Amino acid sequence: MRVSGKKMLLLLVVLVGLLFAIGGAVVWWMMQQPMFKPGTVAQRTDLTPVGISDDFWEVAPDVKLKHFSTGEGRNILFIHGGPGIPTMASAPGFDLLSDEYRVNYYDQRGVGRSTRPFDRFPAEDSTWTKIQLLESTLGISQQLADIERIRKLLGDDKLILMGHSYGALLASLYAAEFPENVDKLVLLNPADLLIFPSGNKGLFENVRELLPERDHKAYDKWQRRYLDLGQVFKEDEASLQQLDADFLPYFIKATGDTIKGAPPISQDLFGSWYTRAQFFGLGRRHDWSKHMGNITADTLIIHGDKDFQPLAVSEIYEDAIPNAKLERIEEAAHFPHFNNPKELAGKLRPFLNK
């Protein structure tokens, strides 16, 4: 099944929404603590990559990351969002920088054409064992470790790091974990997950309010299954991918044609186990804003005034990160790199060149 560019972008929104309103009957969940601990990745001893093989970065003996690049010049590493949706083609907003910069895209582990270690979990294992295996393999710590391994493969002492939505959260966490390894940091509409819960209204609640009342019963049934982590390990990845995609008709009916522009993607490339791994890393309650004080890189935050997230979300990052500057694009929504290329490039080039 192929999903249109518009629907793919909508799916990015719903997967972020997963991280706003999940429940589940597991013991760990009652603890409410994130499994990711800032400051622990830099202490690891397994951050040396294997090498490069064709179009793959071999970041570990059993993990290959699909990558491609466009442009010539200094490297930029782009961290995609979703969480769990790969970038299938270069973004027009970044192509406008191709005369001076080489933009490197990659599918994060567990996503797209990169190594995807899980389909279904053994029924005999306990829920806690499954959670630990999933999170330790695909969770936040491994994603940050992979960025450090990629830096070494690119041969850069300091990265120009650019993240979108959930990828902006990962980029921020990396820059705080390895401040000496980041020269410049760009955050495009960063996800409302630096402090969780943030106090802002969740995506699913907003959609329900906008749906006709006749759709509420079906929507509520979908949402109960979607948010039931106590049953998630009974699923395989294909069923989770379908469950993630089933949100799209509700979102379109509630909000209309508000997102467009990205290239199409096959549904079977969605990293649905990856998405759940991120949730366990985030936990039900955390505040990583103080950790952002470690960041030494000049930071540019881009906010689209028509984004589904309020300006206050980007301001949280601006307040937390030293040397951060917030720029707004009036006509942009959540994906300025696809839909507002000239305006975005006009913000990026002077920041990157200074």
* pLDDT tens per residue across span 110-166: 999 999 999 999 999 998 899 999 999 999 999 999 999 999 999 999 999 999 999
- Residue 26: name the closest of 231, 278, 235 by CA: 231
The reported pLDDT for the residue numbered 206 is 75
Joined tokens for residue 296? 């030494």
**Span 333-348, mean pLDDT?**
94
DSSP secondary structure code for residue 334 in this structure: S
Burial (0-12, 13-18, 19+ Cβ within 10 Å), 62: exposed
Q: What is the pLDDT of residues 183-214, one digit of tens each?
A: 999 999 999 999 998 888 767 887 788 899 99
Give the pLDDT confidence score for residue 130 in this predicted structure: 94
Q: What is the CA angle 170-283-314, rounded to 5?
A: 45
Structure tokens at 307: 């984004």
- Exposure string of 149-183, with b = 16+ CB inside 10 Å and e = fewer, is bbbebbebeebbbbbbbbbbbbbbbbbbbbbebbb
Query: d(Cα 36, Cα 40) in Å, to the nearest integer?
Result: 8
Token pair for residue 140?
A: 């936040």
**What does R_g of the chain's alpha carbons equal in angstroms?**
19
Residue in this structure with the two tokens 């589904």, named with its chain if needed: 308
Q: Is the pLDDT of residue 21 over 80?
A: no
CA distance 327 to 300: 7
Name the band, by pLDDT with cuts 50, 70 and 90, for residue 8: low
Specify the 3-state DSSP secondary structure of 145. helix
**pLDDT grade for 30, boundaries at 50, 70 and 90:** very low
Question: What distance in Å separates the CA atoms of residue 161 and residue 181, rounded to the nearest whole number?
Answer: 10
- H-assigned helices in 155-198: 166-177
Strand partners, 195: 287
211 burial (CB, 10 Å; 0-12 / 13-18 / 19+) is middle
Residue 79's beta-bridge partner residues? 163
Q: Which long-range contacts (CB under 8 A, 24 or more apart) does 248-252 make?
A: 248/7, 248/10, 248/11, 248/14, 250/207, 250/211, 250/215, 250/219, 250/222, 251/10, 251/13, 251/14, 251/207, 252/10
pLDDT at position 205 is 80
3-class DSSP state for residue 185? Answer: strand
Phi, psi for residue 117 in degrees, rounded to 5: -75, -15
Cβ proximity of 299 and 324 under 8 Å: yes
Q: Please, are residues 319 and 199 in contact by the beta-carbon 8 Å criterion?
A: no
Name the residue type at position 33: Q
Under 8 Å between Cβ of 305 and 343:
no
Q: Reply yes or no: is the peptide bond before residue 336 cis, omega within 30 of 0.
A: no
For residue 42, the 8-state DSSP code is G
- Contact between 331 and 306 under an 8 Å Cβ cutoff? The reply is yes
Identify the bridge partners of residue 76 per DSSP, sorted by sequence position.
103
- For 296-334, the pLDDT digits (tens) are 999 999 999 988 888 999 999 999 999 999 999 999 988
Among residues 219, 196, 193, 184, the alpha carbon closest in space to that of 286 is found at 196
* CA 138/CA 143 separation, integer angstroms: 7
Beta bridge partners of 345: none
**42 vs 20 pLDDT, higher one:** 42
